[in-house]
Amino acid sequence: MGFTPSPNVTSGATRASGSSHQITGSVLITGPLSSSGPVSSSGMNPVGTGPNSVLIGNLAESIETGSIAIGWNASVTSSTVWKSNGSIAIGQEATIDDDQYAIAIGAAAGSSYYGIALGLSASSAQYGFALGYAANSTNIGGGAFGSYASSTGVSAIAMGYYCVASGLSSVALGERATGSATTTISIGAKAVASANNSIAIGSGSSAELDNSIAIGRGAFISGETEGANNSIAIGFGASVVDPATNGIAIGSGSVVSVTDTLVLGKQNIVQINNLTGSATHTPTNAALLYTKSGELYTKDASGNETQLSPHDENDEWQYFSRNTRTGKVVRIKMEKMIRKLEQITGETFIEDK
């Protein structure tokens, strides 16, 4: 049995009885849509009087203006002066209470005002977003994306299976990644950034001290409260450890344990390639280090460019320096001078082995 409104508009009371009803075409309903009479446990008995609200499903409840409750025991309600106007709850036992313009979609999903929760048991705080099974955003403006993802800090973002962002404005991306202090960033499976302003990028990386940066699989910065702050570790297994404040470790397996120290590579060997141009810059209160034609040079703040790998084109030892400001050149053939001195004194100063 069924009914066919004509011209597809119903303005008065319309009743359809029987077990099955089919409507073809468009339907415009003005006024409440409800059911009455005996209802079985599998039947439909929505409850609510919210103006312009929509209720579908057994025990669905909506008492606020413009709200929508769809699903068994889904509800949009209010118990205080705060109203849930304009909110949407879709799914078995999806719930919104005292929160306006909130959206909860999924069984047992829940959301606070202006928040969005999508997924089974997903939950969002005000202005937040939760997406995924048991995803949980509990503070203002937070976002949780992925099964069991948890965002508990204000404006914190957690994205990944079981990842946690609990610090203010922290970001955690990756399976079980953790950002637990203010403005931290952790990216990668089990990456941990646990100190203020710290960054950990890479699987198993860890930045445990303030303003520290660990990049690379297993890279870490650790120590006591004041040790190794402001440090950087880059590379597989690179580390800076207490008490190396301001330490920098770059390269696989490199380790820094002394304050204000730079270590490049596990063996601490550095290759400096030839300049592509000329070293025209003269530093202030500093010095330059560079290579020309395979020889190592330095330039000081007075403009003196001095060769540090002391060999000439004949592979003999020499001292060479040139002032780039005055043009003065000093070249001393050290090896030739010493051999001449040997001739004069009869003593040996140069040993070939």
Contact 195, 213 (CB under 8 A): no
The alpha carbons of the chain give a radius of gyration, in whole angstroms, of 37
The H or E element spanning position 256 is strand 255-256
**pLDDT > 60? residue 10:** no
Longest dimension (CA), the chain: 128
At 91, the pLDDT band (50, 70, 90 cuts) reads very high
Tokens 């339907």 belong to which residue? 27
Residue 197: partners with Cβ closer than 8 Å, 6 or more residues away: 181, 182, 183, 184, 210, 211
**pLDDT > 80? residue 217:** yes
Q: Is 352 exposed, middle or buried (0-12, 13-18, 19+ CB in 10 A)?
A: exposed
Q: Which residues pair with 157 in a beta bridge?
A: 143, 171
**Strands 9-10 and 88-90, how do they pair?**
unpaired
Instruction: Count Cα neighbours of 101 within 13 Å in the Cβ-side half-sphere.
Output: 4
Percent of the residues in the chain that have a pLDDT greater than 90, as a whole number: 50
Tokens standing for residue 121:
């048991």
89 located within any domain: no
Return the pLDDT at 63. 79
Tokens standing for residue 6:
């004509």
347 located within any domain: yes
132 located within any domain: no
Q: How many domains does the chain have?
A: 1
351 located within any domain: yes
Return the pLDDT at 133. 97
195 located within any domain: no
Return the pLDDT at 65. 82
Residues 125-145: what's their mean pLDDT?
97
State how far the Cα of 95 lies from the Cα of 84, in Å rounded to an integer.
11
Return the pLDDT at 80. 65
State how far the Cα of 201 lies from the Cα of 177, in Å rounded to an integer.
10
Q: Which residues pair with 256 in a beta bridge?
A: 240
Q: Which of 78-82, 144-148, 180-184, 326-330 has the lowest mean pLDDT?
A: 78-82
Contact 132, 124 (CB under 8 A): no
Return the pLDDT at 322. 86
Contact 335, 350 (CB under 8 A): yes
* pLDDT tens digit sequence for 18-42: 443 444 444 444 444 444 444 444 4
Q: Domain residues for 285?
A: 271-353
Average pLDDT, the chain: 84
State how far the Cα of 142 lies from the Cα of 165, in Å rounded to an integer.
9
Residues 225-249: what's their mean pLDDT?
88
16 located within any domain: no
pTM given for the model:
0.73
Residue 238: partners with Cβ closer than 8 Å, 6 or more residues away: 214, 216, 219, 249, 250, 251, 252, 253, 254, 255
State how far the Cα of 88 lies from the Cα of 96, in Å rounded to an integer.
8
Most confident among 85-89, 134-138, 254-258 (mean pLDDT):
134-138
State how far the Cα of 148 lies from the Cα of 316, in Å rounded to an integer.
69
Return the pLDDT at 281. 82
Residue 335: left (phi > 0), alpha (psi -120 to 50), or beta?
alpha
State how far the Cα of 319 lies from the Cα of 292, in Å rounded to an integer.
15
69 located within any domain: no
Contact 256, 242 (CB under 8 A): no
Higher pLDDT, 352 or 253: 253
DSSP annotation of 275 reads P
Contact 203, 215 (CB under 8 A): no
**pLDDT > 80? residue 139:** yes
282 located within any domain: yes
Higher pLDDT, 175 or 41: 175
**pLDDT > 90? residue 17:** no
DSSP letter string over 124-185?
A: E-TT-EEESTT-EE-STT-EEESTT-EE-STT-EEESTT-EE-STT-EEESTT-EE-STT-E
Q: Is 160 exposed, middle or buried (0-12, 13-18, 19+ CB in 10 A)?
A: buried
